[in-house]
Structure formats: C-alpha cells, structure tokens
Amino acid sequence: MKKHWHELAAGEVERLLSSNASAGLTSLEADKQLAVHGFNELKEKPRETLWQKFVNQFKDFLVLILIAASLISVLVGEVTDSIVIIAIVLLNALLGVFQEAKAEKALAALKEMTAPNSKVLRDGEITIIPSKLLVPGDVVLLEAGDYIPGDLRFIESHNVKVQEASLTGESVPVEKSTDPVGSTASLADRHNMGFMSTVVTYGRGKGIVVGTGMQTEIGKIAEMLQSVEEDSSPLQKKLAEFGKMLGVLCLFVCALVFGLGVYSGYSDGVLEMAEVQLMLMTSISLAVAAIPEGLPTVVTIVLALGMQRMAKKNSIMKKLHAVETLGSISVICSDKTGTLTQNQMTVVKAFTLERMIDLSGEGYDPKGEFFRDGSTVDLSEEQDLAFLLKGSSLCNDAQLKQASDTGAWHIVGDPTEGALVVAAAKGGYIQSKLTADYPRIQELPFDSTRKMMTTFHHMEGRDLAFTKGAPDILLSRCTHIAVNGSIHPLTPQERNSIAVANQEMASHALRVLAVAYRAWDSIPDAPNAAEVEEQLIFIGLLGMIDPPRLEVRDAVAVCRSAGIRPIMITGDHPDTALAIAKDLGIASQSSLAITGSQLDTLSPAELQQLVQTASVFARVSPEHKMAIIDALRSNGQIVAMTGDGVNDAPALKKADIGVAMGITGTDVTKETADMVVADDNFATIVSAVEEGRVIYANIRKFVYFLLSCNASEILVILFAILLGWPIPLLPIQLLWINLVTDAFPALALGVEKKEPNVMKLKPRNPAEPLLTWKLQVMIGIQSLAMAVTVLGAFKYGLYAYEGDLGVARTFAFITLITTQVICAFAARSEHYSVFQLGFFSNKYLNAGAALSLFLLLLSVYGPLHVIFKTIEPGLNEWLFLLALSPLPFLATELTKLVLRLSTKEDSQVTNSIAK
C-alpha cells in the first residue's frame, strides 16, 4: 500500500519528489511539474456568463413593470409604444450587463494584485514566485505571518507553530517538527505536515510541497468553501433600501396621478376610453421614469472604478465598504519604520563600553571605515567592537547581495538586520564566511512583543548564544559585560553609561540595537525565551539612521488641514520615535512620547483621556495597539491603523480601516486588512483618504442629480393634472427622457475630479445621511424650478400655437431634456459654482451632455419624430426654448451661493488640531 507523506522520513520525501532540500527544484523541473499538476489554485465557482447576467436584468421588479406596460400598450393598440418600451428595456439591460461586467473585471484585477506569493528555493536561489505557480517538490521557506501555500512536509522547523483552526478546528497553534508520524495519525496529529491556507504564527521553517491546488487537504473540502462572500458596502445597502422606498413612493404617486387624471377626465361628464388609456400609460411610464432603478448599478460602478484609480496610486482596497469609510477617517495611527521612514538603514555608530565609534559609508554598499574622535580605528585592537559586529551578523536572517549586472548591493530580508550585516562587512566580517565557520544550531526568532532574537552557534570550541534586541529590554537581562575581552558583573555606573549612550543616539533619531551573548555547556534542544534570554553578557550597541520619507511631511500637513490627526505607534525607542515625529510635524516640540509600560498603568478612562492629545506611542506591543484603538473609538474617532507583523492582525481587524503594508506586511495582515498600501508609504494612505472623500462626494452628486430629475418629471405631470391641463408629456417621451438624460450624465458625474476643498473639510460624520438637509433643499428647489420651466414652455406652446398639443408637448419634451442636461453641470459641485470649477472641465460630462442632446435631436428630427409624436421646431422655437432652459440651473447655482454664504464656518475646519 502507498505510504502517506507524514510516515516517511524527510530524505525519503525529498527523493520521491526528485527535489533537493538545499537547492529546491530546477526551473525546468518546476515547469514540467506545472504542466502535469496545473496551477496551485482551488477550483472556483463558475462565474456568471454574460447571458446569465443579461437574463438577471429582467428579474428586476421595475423592469417587470416596463414589460407589463408594453403588454398593456399592445392590448390597447399602441404597438409603436410597446416596441419602443421593449427597445428601452433591452437597452437598459445591455447597459446593466455592461456596467456589471466592468465592475466585476475591475474587482477581479484588484484581487489579482493582492494574490499571495511564496518564498521558494529554485535553482539553488531563494526566489519569490506567485503561489499559483507552486508545484510538488518545491522547497518552501516559511516564517511567522506566512500562509502555507500548499500541502507540505516539514524538513526544517525552528519552533514553527501553525494555526490550523480553519482545517482541524484546533484553536491553539500547533508546533511543527520534522520526525515521521504514525500512519494512522489524524490531520491534527500530523506534526510534520503543513496544510494549504493555514498560518505560520511563530518561528521559521522549510517544507517540501507534496500537494497543490485541489489535491490538498483544503482542496478536498473546497466544495464546501465555494460560497464566495459578496461584499456590499453600507452605502450600497442603504441606497438599495432607499431606492425600494422611493420606488414604492413613486408607484403611490403614479397611482394618485392616474386616479386624479381619470377623475378630472370624468369631471367634464364623459370619460373616454382613450383618456383612461393615456392616463394608464402615462402613470406607468411616469413610474418607470421616476423610479431611480439605475442607482445601485451606478454606485457599484463608481466604487469599482474608484478602487481601480486608487490601485494605480498604490492603495489596493480589499473591501468595498472601506472606500466610503475612508472619507470619515479622523485618526490615522501609523507605524514608524518603513511607513513614516524609508526603511533604508545604515549603521553609523557603534558603542562598546565608553567607546563611541563612527562608521562611514552609504546605503548597503559594504565599504566604509570606523573612526573614533576623527581618527581611523584599527579593528584588531578593538576586541569588543569586533565581537559586537560578529554577533550582530550571526544573529541575523538578512542576506547581503550584489546584482551581477549593475553591481548594486541590496538586502534580502529585514533592513534593520541588513544594516548590521553591512556594518560587519565594513569591518571585514563577511556573513557567509561567519555562518560557514560558526553554523547556527538553534534559534529563538524575533517577535515584536519580546523585541529580541537569539541564535546558538558552535564557536571556537564553545557553545554560544547571541541575543540582539531593543537596548532597554536587553540591558535589563544582562548581568555581565565584556570589556576588552574579559567579563565582569555590570556595575550600576556601567549600566548608566550604556543607558546614556542609548538615549544619546535615540534622541538623534537613530534606531539602536543592543547585542549580548551567553555561553552554554550544551545547546538546549527546545530553547525557551524566558530561560535563554537572561543572565546575558553585554557586548555593545549599534545605532542606525533611517531617514524619514520626504513626502510624509506634506502628507501630515494635509491631514491636519483635513481634520485628521496622525498618530505614531511604534515598537521603537521613545526618543527615536519622538525625534522623527517632531521632524515630520506629527508631534510638537513640547510633546512627549508615551511608552507601552506607561500604558499598562492606565485605566481605560485615563487612556481615553490621554489619546485625545498624545500623538506618539513608543515601545508598544501589538496588544497595546488594541487598547489605543478602543480608546480612540470610545472617543468617537474613526480610526485607520497600519500593521505589518503577524500579531498586528487583531488590531487591523478592530480598526475602522485596517491598513496592511504591501512590502513588509505578512500574508496574514494583508488578508485581514481592508486596504493594502503597496509602497508602505504613509503619504499613500493620506491620498487614499482623499480619493475616498472624492468618491463619496461623487456618489452624492449623481444621487442628487438623478433624484431631482426624477422628481421634476413627477411634478410636471402632477401639477398639470392639478391645474386641469392636458398631460404635457406622452408616455413614450417620458421613457425616452428616462433613458437619455439619466444614464450618461449621471455616470459622468460619478468620475468628477476632486474639488479644491476636498482636504479642507472635516471628516464626514458616518452617521450623517446621504441626503443631508442641504442636499434635500437643493433637490427640492431644482426639481421645482425644472417643473415650473417645463410647464411654462408647455403652456406657452398651447397658447402660441392655438392649443396645438403636439407643439406644446414637443416644447415640454425638449425643455425637460435641455434643463436636465444643463443642471447636470450644476450638480458637479455642492460647494462651488460650476464656473469656479471651469464649466467644461469634466470631459466625460461634456460628452454625456453632447450625446443626450444628439439623441434629443434624433427624436425630434428625422424618422423618429413619428414615434415620439413631436413636431420639428424652427429657429424661433429653439431660441425661445434655449432661453428658458438655463433657468433651473441658475436657481440651483443661486441656492448653492446662499447656502455657501450662510453655512461657511460650518463645513470648514476652523480650529487646527492639537499636535
């Protein structure tokens, strides 16, 4: 019988899969395997085809009303009307399909951008490949925060722990080893196996892939996981409900119009069937025209297009709802290293007891010299310094590499560690030689709660453990010190001078790491941090610069003017943090940094008070981030929080917007986050907030435009009936208006450029309704003005052309379309006059308006005019109608001006926010 992978020895697995634990597969072999096994993907539910999408359009309640209307038209003998209605239904459906397909494509492209990668050995080199290309036999390197990309057999495990709850239900992370396990072991007991889509929460390891795609354990149950979660934003849900409510309201008004119409027809004694038919058709068409059935689709497409635009600027939105929440963000909590700073570290100072040494050189180029008081240092005379450099390069997972073509040096791994490798190389200690001479036997990986890491080595006949980490923490674990090679207990004075040196470097914005060691009789099999990282012998400190990102200073200023408070939350030393925060404008000159241990002493109420003013939190652990978010949110703030490490995931989940780092972020944080910042840059978060505000404002613009247009159509018919006038618009005309004016200008408003004050307004209160009172006033005035103008044109037509209904209706028809098209320009801003923005500066709206006007001309001239029962207006008629058409636009612009003048202070950020 065939044996299971977990029963076999690691070497046997390697042999069976023709792999090589230290070199991985060759590219050739990997390609061959890929051809046999296919992509490492779980089968997805088949997508809806275009045809299915098209058919779904007809399931809409409103479309069913239209179809009913066309049937009624046939029954009452209005065959042309019926054909036109059906044509409109088809056109609407096609537009719907097109919009849905486009939105879906945009979202799929975004998903692709955050598709996971794997670190594998190929042709003897560490290579990052898309996890999709993983094949059986690949050797995968894993560390804390990684998703396991396929099923694999561990061949190396340094305290690897894996969270397998999703597969086995086991809630505690399971420790992994490399020894064979009995054949009958259940999934949960296969301690030498890693399973696809479980998460490494601790440690470092290596495994050979034994199964990919549907051949994995998760693949076997993938059928159960097929239900892809459809994420719709609160705004979409609100709008869908709002649309339904409006729909019912419209139906009610239309029934009223029908009743009133029939009643007024009856009041002159005779009720003609034709009149009832006309009223029936009018109210049905009115319902169709007035119900904003396109709203949810337009919102989806605007959100999806917005997300695409944001992705081009490095912010990848993972959840649709995040786009609108972004506009409400009032606090951005950011990590320091890599987000506010460049994460390009260079060691510039080294300290061993009472000796401060400077290092020259730039970037990762391992060329540079050591100086003390201006003169070059001879390393052979500096035993402690040499030991410090060696220890920091050995207790290290980064690698220094040189590009074969350009000769440029770069780091594979953490830049902090990379800087240490470079510093050691400047002193002549080349990492590859060091690790060959003194191989690593055991290790305790770095984690941001302990803020330390330890590795064990055989070194010149001794077993040594090197520990490096945050100086304040590491120093408290040191009992001795090495001075000129000899060891003695640390005196209080020595402790003090180390602390002073640390503080001195930190206050100059240097990131400082301490290195210590301890000798062991024998290296423990399963080292435990609490026992290993104590009674250490202090060696020295290394201080590195990490320059602030240049663009962040401006981004911080933009935040302040937009009513958003930036807060720095870092694991680094308070003095380093404060120096950088002051430089970037996050903290004022008199600000203090709050440390994690200070936070531990505060009650929730005290913390709530503190977070109102404190802007720098240092030496915090991921758990502190949770407490800070809680306190900020209890104060009513809407919080965006960045994170990169595996322990940051809960905080990202808790924040209103969890932001993961694209470069340094772990798979887990990227998966949990609402948004991934591809370039790790704080300034990118700020520009995403701006984009979020713009998108929300644009959604309001077209909602406002559509609602006022639809309301005006209802008012025109309702007023005419109340005034005892003939119906000013024929059913077919109403339907055409619905199609012509709604869709194109509304879509164009959805991609309006940002308004100049977008980052000068306070964050939007999330409780604020979409239709604020101001917007309601504007909708009311605009729709009323439109209705009055249209009725005016209609009445004039009747009067001037001696009761010729054909002319009067043509006048009403043309005026309604032209007023709506012109009003679309006013809808471009709630705050500014469209003339301030540049009347024709939205080229999409220009095109949309031109298209609407072209379709209008098409419906009054040429063969179509028979269908629309319009007459062909001459020059005089046009002059009259065009003079009338801008009136509602002017009314709207005037309303905006009055509202702007009366509520100016209300909307602007008046008080600058406390630093």
Nearest distance in Å: CB 691, ligand ATP: 25
3-state SS, residue 462? strand
Distance from C-alpha of 848 to C-alpha of 834, rounded to nearest angstrom: 16
Binding site for ligand ATP (CB under 6 A): 335-337, 414, 416-417, 446, 448, 451-453, 468-470, 513, 570-572
How many residues does this entry show for the chain? 915
The residues pairing with 462 across neighbouring beta strands, listed in sequence order, are 459
Tokens representing 780 are 């009311």
Angle at alpha carbon of residue 680, lines to 914 and 474, rounded to 5°: 80
Residue 326 or 421: the one with the smaller Cβ distance to ligand ATP is: 421
Strand order across the 331-334 sheet: 315-317, 675-677, 657-661, 639-643, 331-334, 565-569, 616-618, 594-595
Q: Say if CB 136 and CB 211 are below 8 A apart.
A: yes
Residue pair 419/545 in contact by the 8 Å Cβ criterion: no
Using CB atoms, what's the residue nearest to ligand ATP?
A: 571
Using DSSP, state whether 639 is helix, strand or coil.
strand
Say what the alpha-carbon torsion angle 838, 840, 841, 844 is, to the nearest 10 degrees.
160
Distance CA 887, CA 882 (A): 10
Integer Cα distance of 96 and 53 in angstroms: 8
Please say whether the dihedral angle defined by the alpha carbons of residues 870, 871, 877 and 878, taken in this order, is positive or negative.
positive
Secondary structure of residue 161 in the 3-state scheme:
strand
Minimum CB distance to ligand ATP smaller for 452 or for 640: 452
* 254 or 556: CB nearest ligand ATP: 556
Please say which residue, 651 or 657, places its beta carbon nearer to ligand ATP. 651
| 606 token code pair | 């005290």
User: Which is nearer to ligand ATP, 414 or 656 (by Cβ)?
Assistant: 414
Q: For the chain, how far is it from start to end, CA to CA, in angstroms?
A: 70
Question: Which CB sits closer to ligand ATP, 190 or 573?
Answer: 573
Shortest separation between residue 773's beta carbon and ligand ATP, angstroms:
43
- CA angle centred on 336, ends 471 and 541, rounded to 5°: 20
Strand, helix or coil for residue 127: strand
CB 471 to ligand ATP: min, Å: 7
Q: Whole-number minimum distance, CB 653 to ligand ATP, in Å? A: 18
Kindly give, in sequence order, each residue whose CB lies less than 8 Å from that of residue 338, ignoring residues fewer than 6 positions away: 415, 644, 661, 663, 664, 680
Least Å from the CB of residue 622 to ligand ATP: 8
List residues with catalytic annotation. 335
- The Cα 882–Cα 873 span in angstroms is 12
CB of 466: closest distance to ligand ATP in angstroms? Answer: 11
Q: Which is nearer to ligand ATP, 219 or 571 (CB)?
A: 571
CA-based nearest residue to 535, from 484, 575, 477? 477
Query: Which is closer to ligand ATP, CB of 572 or CB of 713?
Result: 572
